[in-house]
Amino acid sequence: MSASRVQAITQRLFHQFRRDRRTLALLFGAPLIILGLLGYLLRGGGDVPKMGVVNLDGGPLGSIVASTLENSKTVSASSMSQADAESRLRSGDIAGYVLLPSDFSVQAQQHRIIAPEVHLEGSQPGLSQSILQSVSQSFVALAGQAGGVQFTPRITFLYGGPSFDTLDYFGAAFIGLVVFFLVFVITAVAFLRERGQGTLERLMASPLRRAEIVLGYMLGFTVLALVQSAEVLAFSLVVLHVHNVGNVALIFLLEALMAIAAVNLGIFLSMFARTEFQAVQFIPLVIVPQVLLAGIIFPVSTEPGPLQVLSHVLPLTYAVEGLRNIMIKGADLGWSSLQLDVGVVLGFCALVILAGATTLRRRVA
């Protein structure tokens, strides 16, 4: 063991890092960006879930509950008619509503039973939880007045159901994410290898057109990606029993589109990296922020305002929403929300294909 030899290696690493500014920037910049984003996401005063209050109660208690809810800080509740509440629930405008029946006061005062109806949208377990919590809290005030009452809400779900769990919610998004992420990394590295080993130079000196290179790559990796997509989908549905009420072919279509986008994003971004090492660095810069902001973990509707704007620019947001629309809500291509999702993902595909082909040309000339 020679201290000077060990030191030589350590010192050489520092010399290399000094030359590789990008790695340094990543090493010291990326954690701040990611943690900052996460902090803002969680503490930035995002929107609370929206819910409706339908008060049909003829007695005095209904309005007490309604005003307690409307003043609640954990949800943003507003009074509305039942028809209005139902349609806004379906459009995804509110995450749920509580209905206080006409005999609400009578039941509470005479039979000591508090039995409101809670209608939940149900596709996002986090939001459903918040609403249930706020609703039960709003009855605490009432319990003091009526004394020793039995609280038996009747809960219905528009989508999902009582057995709908976190995996069901995340599963839909992760089916797309896993494919997108892996395909992106593999393509970027493969394309960089082509550059590094000099074969790209050789291809550029041949009558091959840039579009042919991009298309060839796309087809090759797309075939792999499709097999992977099918595998991931089958595993999720058959082994993990992830909740799915939608058309499996539609899920696969969206997955396939994401895979094609990932292939081309990989080709495009590999132009901005000199080494495979640098390509891997795109993961914290490109993938992590998308995972945080695409609504995979935190619903976009509860993000702080500025981040919501950012989320609505990210294509992954639409892909995730599309997958959830299909798997949780059973959407088909007739739904305008799914049309938007598929449209955005398609547009993104076209954009990165174009970007990949154009950058390839510029790099060479």
Partner 1 sequence: MATETYAVDIDGVVKRFGSQSALDGVSLRIRRGEVYGLLGPNGAGKTTLIRSLVGLVAPEKGTVTVLGRHMPQLEVLAHVGYMTQQAALYPDLSAEENVHFFGAIYGRVDGVREALEFVDLWDRRKSVVSTLSGGMRTRCSLACALVHKPELLLLDEPTVGVDPQLRVQLWDRFRKMAAGGTSIVVSSHVMDEAERCDRLGLIRFGKLLAEETVAEIKAKAGVDRLEDAFLKLSEASPA
Task: Report the relative pairing of strands 96-100 and 76-79 from DSSP bridges.
Answer: unpaired
Q: 226-235 long-range CB contacts below 8 Å, 24 or more apart? A: 226/256, 226/259, 228/179, 228/182, 228/183, 228/259, 229/175, 229/179, 229/255, 229/256, 229/259, 232/175, 232/178, 232/179, 233/175
* Residue 3 engages partner 1 in binding (rule: CB under 8 A): no
Closest to partner 1 by CB, 165 vs 212, is 212
Q: How far is the CB of 212 from partner 1 (least distance, A)?
A: 9
* Residue 148 engages partner 1 in binding (rule: CB under 8 A): no
12, 154, 202, 241: which one contacts partner 1 (CB under 8 A)?
202
Do the beta carbons of residue 92 and residue 169 sit within 8 Å? no
Q: How far is the CB of 365 from partner 1 (least distance, A)?
A: 5
Give phi and psi for 202, each to the nearest 5. -65, -40
Please report, as residue ranges, which positions from 169 to 198 form the binding site for partner 1 (by CB under 8 A): 197-198
Q: Which stretch in 199-207, 290-298, 307-315, 317-325 sits in contact with partner 1 by CB under 8 A?
A: 199-207
8, 60, 111, 201: which one contacts partner 1 (CB under 8 A)?
201
* Residue 207 engages partner 1 in binding (rule: CB under 8 A): yes
143, 204, 285, 346: which one contacts partner 1 (CB under 8 A)?
204
Residue 352 in tokens? 């990165």
Do the beta carbons of residue 53 and residue 104 sit within 8 Å? no
Burial class (CB in 10 A: 0-12, 13-18, 19+), 283: middle
Furthest-apart CA atoms within the chain: distance in Å: 89
Q: How far is the CB of 197 from partner 1 (least distance, A)?
A: 6
Please report, as residue ranges, which positions from 44 to 83 form the binding site for partner 1 (by CB under 8 A): none
Q: How far is the CB of 288 from partner 1 (least distance, A)?
A: 31
* Residue 10 engages partner 1 in binding (rule: CB under 8 A): no
Q: What angle do CA 185, 282, 305 make, to 5 degrees?
A: 115
CA-nearest of 142, 80, 84 to 115 is 142
Q: Which stretch in 108-116, 200-208, 288-296, 311-319 sits in contact with partner 1 by CB under 8 A?
A: 200-208
* Residue 364 engages partner 1 in binding (rule: CB under 8 A): yes
Do the beta carbons of residue 184 and residue 303 sit within 8 Å? no
| Rounded CA separation 200/193 (Å) | 9
CA-nearest of 14, 49, 20 to 300 is 49
Q: How far is the CB of 21 from partner 1 (least distance, A)?
A: 18
* Residue 215 engages partner 1 in binding (rule: CB under 8 A): no
* Residue 209 engages partner 1 in binding (rule: CB under 8 A): yes
CA-nearest of 166, 173, 167, 172 to 316 is 173
Closest to partner 1 by CB, 229 vs 270, is 270
* Residue 271 engages partner 1 in binding (rule: CB under 8 A): no
* Residue 220 engages partner 1 in binding (rule: CB under 8 A): no
* Residue 147 engages partner 1 in binding (rule: CB under 8 A): no
Please give the residue ranges that form the binding site for partner 1 (CB under 8 A): 197-199, 201-209, 364-365
